[in-house]
Chain A
């Protein structure tokens, strides 16, 4: 593009632009003006307003708070969005809290459920913390650099839980999903004398709906409370709880191991010089009564088979 010459005198123009601009921009435009005949564009009203806000009220958001802690709009401590009261920036686990969880699981050897109940941290979160801490330790051991400055800065901007005495609990740990079957109102006539419990209610919603006792992630906690109600000492109840937690974890581990073993038994491995061929037994009945089940293997007459089609997007659905 040829250089555009502004109708206004150049100096006048530079002066004008300097008024509504941050100092570095003004400095830059002055430097430019010695070499370029193109006048820099004036700021419009909206731009002027924005810069004005950034220099006055918005200044506090430029850098993280000196003392640490969240720095959200309008001075809110946990609501980053003004119009959305329902979304809150909830505390994250601090570095020490993660170390505590890791040490409880890996050094003291407590069951995940026990750690979850002890610190009031979701079981899945406990597992995730330990998993990532292990990666971190292996990276450290192999001398790979960590993002320490980044971690420090980000944690400094977030509300944190340190898992110490007197702190509000990190998160609820006994949550259950609201099943879509239970979202509708159901009128079930029963005699007033009948003891209609949670289990009965579950059955009323559907045969396969489990009662809340069986759906909560930590049913062992209910057992603990029941023991306490029955008058057992705190130590004895705790001992029973730990035993139950460890047993349930062991049961899950056994189930997984059995599943893996069965899968392996179903497979036949043939090792040639270059490849390992794996043959699996396939059940032809898996196609279902109408032959269109998704579990069926291979091409079937009349069923679309997209595997080899052109321009077919094949994003994996899981990574193991």
Chain B
């Protein structure tokens, strides 16, 4: 379709600011200058302003459609102070000759400024600020009512066009019902909800595929970092440990409890070293090493738990929750029923003993628990269409803001359109990257007068 063309969408020669989180857009946004319009005629000025602003505000919408949506009535609000309203009925503002009384000359400064009692009550003796209400920045307010734009503003899609696609493809519900029209105008109080998987795909990092993946793996294997060497060692040790455990498990009846316990302690130690590595490495840098470590950790946890459940331990019951299971397991490893009586008698000596035995301390257990919880919440899952564990896509932060007319719950990827965007003194709620002068020219264009 002609009107939804995207040639030179993020052009660098003739840059346009768009509703996307693209890095080209970020570059264009940071170098954007006010166009030179002094020399131009009024018509040309309006034309330029219209072209620039429409390139951002709903460029995927036909001009005719927007012209029908445009409204010259710009909404604004003023905050009323209940304290002031309780003390004054408004007659003080009409006192005297109709615009409030001047204060009797007390301080020199006050006399100079000519502060009225109204202003004294409201601003504690300061002169009322003369910040204007930026009405002109509200030119494109009707656009913010559209469902696709609202989905983009709620940070559920990385561009307005993507948001539009979500709606068209049936991934958006309004008040619990599927809504396939991106041009649906939200009413105050409408709740819209986007498919969580779509949001995670749109806002997450891209999955590494093909060449890049191979290159990353190659780079990882080539770079001989000490941490990696340690990791490899730990892995080898863990494998060795597992093998050892298996060999000991076969003649389970003969092996005394002491040996079994020592094995478990060794396995736990490895688990802990893995967990430490995972927790310590920064989230942004998801290296191959970290991925490997996570996988190994899961595997180890599983084997440790299998071992614990194979042990004749009636008190350990699987809850189905890995974290809970593991913590129960850890507490039981620390305190076997036979040992429990002993430990109750001399608690302090036990702490020292624990240390000698290499059993996990309280902090270490917490660490392990944290690592596992993190992994459960944000798992590495190759079946997902985005890179896992999920991370925000690059260059998202400079575009991350949520206007006040929306209330968003990110956990369920839902938002409520509370009210129409409004202007206040010194503040306009329509997110627009353009200066008030440019917006005013655009507003004048759509007024179609003069």
Contact = CB atoms under 8 A, between A and B. Distances in A.
Interface of A: 24, 27-28, 31, 46-47, 49-50, 53-54, 58, 61-66, 70-74, 80-84, 86-90, 92-93, 98, 122, 124-125, 128-129, 131-133, 135-136, 139, 145-151, 153-155, 157-158, 171-172, 174-178, 180, 190, 192, 195-201, 211-213, 216, 218, 221-226, 228-229, 315-320
23 contacts: A28-B211, A49-B12, A61-B397, A70-B397, A71-B398, A73-B26, A74-B30, A80-B401, A87-B432, A98-B409, A128-B416, A145-B196, A154-B392, A155-B410, A175-B424, A176-B78, A177-B77, A190-B94, A201-B94, A216-B80, A224-B82, A315-B183, A316-B184
Interface stretch (B119-127, B187-195, B328-336, B359-367): B187-195
A155 B188 CA distance: 24
Interface of B: 12-13, 23-24, 26-27, 29-32, 34, 73, 75-83, 85-87, 89-91, 94, 96-98, 134, 137, 155, 174-175, 177, 179, 181, 183-185, 187-191, 193, 196, 199-200, 203-204, 211-212, 215, 282, 284, 377-378, 389-392, 394-404, 407-414, 416, 418-419, 422, 424, 426-436, 438
A320 B176 CA distance: 9
A62 B394 contact: yes
A136 B155 contact: no
Given A83-B433, A176-B77, A178-B77, A90 B82 contact: no
Contact of A177 (B181, B407, B414, B422): B422
A27 to B, nearest CB: 6
B395 A171 contact: no
B85 A213 contact: yes
Given A125-B407, A157-B396, A176 B27 contact: no
Contact of B27 (A54, A83, A201): A54
Nearest to B185: A317
A316 B181 contact: yes
A197 B94 CA distance: 8
Contacts of B414: 132, 135
Closest 6 CB pairs of A and B: A225-B86, A198-B90, A151-B410, A89-B401, A128-B416, A46-B12
Contacts, number: 264
A318 B187 contact: yes
A124 B29 contact: no
B75 A177 contact: yes
A227 to B, nearest CB: 9
A200 B94 CA distance: 11
Contact of B73 (A54, A132, A180): A180
B21 to A, nearest CB: 10
A222 to B, nearest CB: 5
A1 B174 CA distance: 46
Given A58-B30, A149-B200, 14 more contacts: A64-B397, A73-B29, A81-B434, A87-B427, A87-B428, A132-B412, A136-B412, A146-B412, A154-B392, A175-B80, A178-B78, A196-B91, A201-B94, A216-B85
B26 A320 contact: no
A175 B427 CA distance: 14
A63 B177 CA distance: 36
A87 B412 contact: no
A278 B322 CA distance: 53
A237 to B, nearest CB: 11
Identify the interface centre among A27, A46, A86, A222: most chain B CB within 10 Å of its CB: A86
A81 B433 contact: yes
A147 B418 contact: no
A198 B407 CA distance: 33
Nearest to A87: B431
A71 B394 CA distance: 12
A176 to B, nearest CB: 6
A136 B284 CA distance: 28
B13 A46 contact: yes
Nearest to B394: A62
Nearest to B17: A81
Given A98-B409, A147-B196, A87 B89 contact: no
B398 to A, nearest CB: 5
B187 A197 contact: no
A194 to B, nearest CB: 8
Contact of A87 (B179, B409, B430): B430
A314 B102 CA distance: 59
B155 A84 contact: no
B190 A319 contact: yes
Contacts of B394: 62-63
A124 B406 CA distance: 10
A84 B183 contact: no
B134 to A, nearest CB: 4
B68 to A, nearest CB: 11
A177 B189 CA distance: 17
Nearest to B401: A89
Contact of A64 (B27, B204, B390, B392): B392
B396 A150 contact: no
Identify the interface centre among A65, A135, A150, A197: most chain B CB within 10 Å of its CB: A150
Nearest to A151: B410
Nearest to B131: A86
